[in-house]
């Protein structure tokens, strides 16, 4: 269920900052020596989905910035 929750947050316009905070929470959970193997695997999967979300969002911004740089004109960000 937590996996679906992380995916739903990413789909509901989660900000990159919120995703990074959630990733930090996942890391803290994984560092807990009392976490079960099954729970650690779930936390890892959710964390990787969040990392992909952040990567995709940052890549999209980089494309827009590169487009502006290549074009030489100032356009509104889409």
pLDDT in tens, 60-70: 888 777 666 66
In the Cβ-directed half-sphere of 22, how many Cα atoms lie within 13 Å? 26
In a domain, 78, yes or no: no
In a domain, 22, yes or no: yes
pLDDT at 1: 46
Q: Lowest-pLDDT range, 5-9, 13-17, 38-42, 62-66?
A: 5-9
In a domain, 20, yes or no: yes
In a domain, 74, yes or no: no
In a domain, 50, yes or no: yes
pLDDT at 14 over 80: yes
Please write the tens of the pLDDT for every residue from 34-78. 999 999 999 999 999 999 999 999 998 887 776 666 666 766 655
User: Other CB atoms closer than 10 Å to residue 53's CB: what's the count?
Assistant: 21
User: Residue 46: which domain range?
Assistant: 2-9+16-68
In a domain, 77, yes or no: no
Specify whether the CB–CB gap between 4 and 43 falls below 8 A: no
Number of domains in the chain: 1
């Amino acid at each position: 269920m937590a996996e679906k929750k992380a995916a739903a947050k990413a789909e509901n316009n989660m900000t990159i900052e919120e995703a990074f905070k959630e990733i930090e929470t996942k890391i803290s959970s994984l560092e807990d020596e009392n976490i079960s193997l099954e729970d650690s695997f779930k936390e890892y999967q959710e964390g990787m989905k969040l990392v992909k979300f952040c990567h995709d969002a940052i890549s999209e911004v980089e494309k827009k910035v590169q487009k502006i740089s290549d074009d030489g004109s100032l356009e509104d960000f889409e």
